[in-house]
Each structure stands twice: as C-alpha cells, then as structure tokens.
Amino acid sequence: MKRLLLGVLLLGACAHPRPVLYPDDHFKSVGAPAAQTDVDECLTQAKAYLKANPAKRVAGRTARGGVFGAFMGMVFGAFTGNYARAVSEGAAVGAAAGLAHGAFEAGSPDEIQRAFTQRCLADRGYSVIGWK
C-alpha cells in the first residue's frame, strides 16, 4: 500500500501542467474524451515547436540580458564618469547572464508553450480558463 501511494505521489510530481477547459457548448458537444485528445495534440504540437526553435528563445534572453546590462552600465557610468567602459562591460555581463539563463531554461515548459497550446485549443473552439 505504501509503495502504491508513493508511486501515485511521484507520478503526480512528474506531471506537467495541463490546460483546464471551460465547459461551454463546444466542450459539451465534443465530449470530455475528445477534448482531452485535442489537448494532448496541442501540447504535443507546442513541445515540437519549442524543440525546433530553442535558439530563438535563448537568443531573446541573451538580447534582453545585454540591454539590461547596458542600462545598468549607464547607471554605473553615471557614478564613475566613464560611460563607454561601464556600458560595454555592463552589456557584456548582461548578455552572458542572459545567455546562461536562456540556455538553462531552453528545455523547460514556459509561457511560450502555454500560449501556443492555448492558441491551438482556441483555434479548435475551446476556451482555456487555467492550468492545473
């Protein structure tokens, strides 16, 4: 019994969040089993999209890190009087941090996967009210 409970808990801990669909007329007309099939298909498409496009996500985070670093360099340059050096060093450090963060996060589900899945489901007539 303890092993079964542990197995259920571990399985639940590994489960990825899934969209919760609003039980509107469309949901009722297709039925819960067909709706869950559509959810599975949209999640699979979202994962395939993210797997095919990880470089875009890493590049975006790198660019945002560089801009943030340059901004912080400007602030630091205001105190030291050496704007050029502070901005260039800040941009380099920010870009490196953005690249590291982007590479680390590239394989995990994120807001893009959720947005992709929600758009896919909306295209099929569903309304997503949350994730669970």
pTM above 0.85, yes or no: no
47 vs 99, more confident: 47
CA dist., res. 118 & res. 55, Å (int): 22
Residue type, 9: L
CA dist., res. 107 & res. 101, Å (int): 11
Task: Give me 117's structure tokens.
Answer: 């899945």
Per 3-state DSSP, what percentage of the chain is helix, strand, and coil (rounded to 5)? 80, 5, 15
Any bridge partners for residue 130, and if so which? 20
59 vs 39, more confident: 39
Q: For the chain, first and last CA: distance in Å? A: 26
pLDDT, position 5: 40
Q: What digits encode the pLDDT tens for the residues 10-25?
A: 444 456 899 999 999 9
Q: Are 80 and 86 in contact (CB under 8 A)?
A: yes
Of 108, 126, 99, 128, whose CA–CA distance to 46 is shortest? 108
Q: What digits encode the pLDDT tens for the residues 25-45?
A: 999 999 999 999 999 999 999
